[in-house]
Chains A and B, each alone.
Chain A
Amino acid sequence: MPRVSVWYIRAALVHLVSGAFLGAFYLTFKAVGWPGFALSHLPVHQEQMLVGWLVQLVMGVALWILPRPAGWEPRRSAPALWSVFVLLNAGVLVAALGGDPALPASLAWIGRAAEALAVVLFALHAWNRQQPYRARSRRVIV
């Protein structure tokens, strides 16, 4: 498994555990009004589970498992893939904080913009790594 995939998948697991704790606290809060949970954490749970866990895990596994075309140099892709990692994780945290009414609402769109940029960079990388059998001539863009 490439090192970049290890980072994506482990970060996804961190989001899964963190999001599961928040989800469990929220369900408990709904059931018995347990005061340890603030309602403002619900957007953090949603953002972590959807983007931080599901999307990031799929990206990490895709980078590991998609075919590598002939002539592909992993070093050329590395800066873009690490940028995706940083943008996606920063985006999740910033967008989640944007759901807190006590914080500026602009955080939500800044976070979402970072996530969108991460997805575009990832798609540019992954686009030509889908190939029919025996076709290995296409070039990866980033």
Chain B
Amino acid sequence: MPRLTRWFLRAAMVNLGLAFVLGLLTVLPPLADEAAAWRPAYIHLIALGWATQMIFGVAYWMFPRRGPVDAQRAPRAGWLCFGALNLGLLARVASEPLLAMRPTPAAQGLAVVAAVLQLTAVLAFTWIAWPRVLAR
């Protein structure tokens, strides 16, 4: 299993854990009063941080390689994808609830950064995966 895959899978498990902690906290006071503001962060921790990141890691490992071309370009784009996905998710969790509760210029800026980072992660993964999806 490539080192990048191990990082993807471990980060996915961390995100799943964080999602469940957040899910628990938002049914308890004091966050329960503002549960709706935390809901998008909770959903994205599971759908993007857990499920999609797990898929990225396994696909990076298991999709067929065409040879040296994929071996060469995959690591850089792969690490870019990993970094952008997790930093973007972190920025999103930190900023998105604030947009709903107490919007500040810092939260607004951080949310835009989160949007750009998450989009970058998806584009980097697609760039790696697309040529590796091959008919036999």
- Chain A residues at the B interface, C-beta cutoff of 8 Å: 1-3, 5-6, 9-10, 13, 16-17, 20-21, 23-25, 27-28, 30-32, 49-50, 53-54, 57
Contact = CB atoms under 8 A, between A and B. Distances in A.
Interface in B76-126: 92, 95-96, 99, 107-109, 111-112, 114-116, 118-119, 122-123, 125-126
A24 B55 contact: no
Contact of B118 (A3, A5, A10, A24): A24
A13 B52 contact: no
Contact of B119 (A6, A20, A49): A20
Nearest to A57: B55
21 contacts: A2-B136, A6-B133, A13-B133, A16-B122, A17-B122, A17-B126, A20-B119, A20-B123, A23-B115, A23-B118, A24-B116, A24-B118, A27-B112, A30-B99, A31-B95, A31-B108, A31-B109, A32-B108, A32-B112, A49-B47, A53-B52
A34 to B, nearest CB: 9
| Majority secondary structure, B binding face | helix
B115 to A, nearest CB: 4
Contacts, number: 70
A28 B136 contact: no
B91 to A, nearest CB: 10
Contact of A31 (B112, B122, B126, B130): B112
Given A27-B96, A50-B47, A20 B122 contact: yes
A30 to B, nearest CB: 5
Contacts of A25: 115
Contacts of A13: 126, 129-130, 133
